């Protein structure tokens, strides 16, 4: 069975830019052999070699592994260091050529700098493997969307710990929920209103005290 290569690898063999490959596709001069639902173009190696007139090369996958770590707030920086160490050790033990990306922000935030960088590299066919410590390090809700992009781009996803570290999980989740309530409360009462401030103060105290019981004066939101 003939080997299938990416548009970048095909362009390199033909000595042209990737955009030239796209232009050739539009004009009908050279169409890809397959296009995935995610838009990934693949070419038959034998066909590209025949066009180029070169000998069949040994195709080396030059894509890298990305190790991604995230915490929700500045006071969790020690956890970020621990995550990074676990990821680096795992990648080193498996002989991966890797890049470490660290993020600081809520699991509800889809626009974190590191996450955006990760997605862009995946879409640009620069990533072979994604390594994370836990599934929710990507996003609290919506990690499956990233996994679908990885599948379309043929990126392997490695989750080191399939279970959850309960304490860290509950702390992160509480802060994410607090962020959501803060946003909606500000919209409902106005960001500078006394009622909004009282609600957020009560919620913050509950989170910081790690207490599951709501404050007695919770009727401030009624």
pTM: 0.55
Q: Give residue 58's pLDDT.
A: 60
Answer with the residue of higher pLDDT: 197 or 67.
Answer: 67
Tell me if 69 sits within 8 A of 80, measured CB to CB: yes
- For the ranges 78-87, 109-118, 136-145, the lowest mean pLDDT is seen at 136-145
pLDDT value at 100 more than 60? yes
Check residue 151 and give its pLDDT. 87
pLDDT the model gives residue 28: 93
CB 83 within 8 A of CB 71: yes
Domains of the chain (ranges plus CATH)? Answer: 4-52 (1.10.1660.10), 64-159 (3.40.50.1390), 166-221 (no CATH)
Query: Can 72 be counted among the known catalytic residues?
Result: yes
Q: Which of 72, 106, 168, 185 is catalytic?
A: 72
Identify which has the larger pLDDT, 205 or 47. Answer: 47
pLDDT, tens only, 71-92 = 988 888 899 999 999 999 999 9
Q: What are the two backbone dihedrals, phi and then psi, of residue 117, each rounded to the nearest 5 degrees?
A: -60, -45
Question: Hunting for tokens 């030059």 — which residue is that?
Answer: 62
Strands 156-159 and 127-132 come out as parallel
Helix then strand count (H, E) for the chain reads: 8, 7
Cα 124–chain centre separation: 14
Residue 123 in tokens: 């879409």
């Amino acid at each position: 069975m003939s080997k299938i290569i990416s548009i970048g690898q095909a362009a390199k063999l033909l000595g042209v830019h990737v955009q030239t490959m796209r232009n050739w596709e539009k004009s009908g001069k050279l169409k890809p052999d397959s296009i995935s639902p995610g838009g990934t173009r693949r070419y038959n190696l034998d066909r590209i070699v025949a066009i180029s007139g070169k000998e069949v090369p040994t195709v080396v996958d030059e894509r890298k592994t990305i190790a991604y770590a995230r915490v929700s707030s500045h006071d969790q920086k020690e956890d970020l260091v621990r995550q990074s160490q676990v990821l680096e050790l795992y990648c080193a033990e498996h002989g991966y050529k890797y890049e470490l990306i660290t993020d600081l922000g809520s699991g509800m935030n889809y626009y974190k700098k590191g996450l955006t960088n990760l997605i862009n590299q995946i879409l640009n066919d620069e990533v072979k493997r994604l390594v994370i410590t836990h599934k929710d390090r990507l996003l609290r809700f919506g990690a499956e969307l990233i996994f679908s992009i990885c599948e379309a781009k043929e990126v392997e996803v490695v989750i080191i710990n399939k279970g959850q570290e309960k304490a860290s999980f509950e702390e992160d989740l509480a802060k994410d929920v607090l962020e959501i309530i803060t946003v909606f409360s500000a919209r409902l009462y106005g960001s500078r209103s006394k009622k909004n401030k009282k609600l957020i103060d009560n919620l913050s105290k509950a989170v910081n005290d790690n207490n599951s019981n709501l404050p007695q004066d919770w009727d401030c939101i009624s």
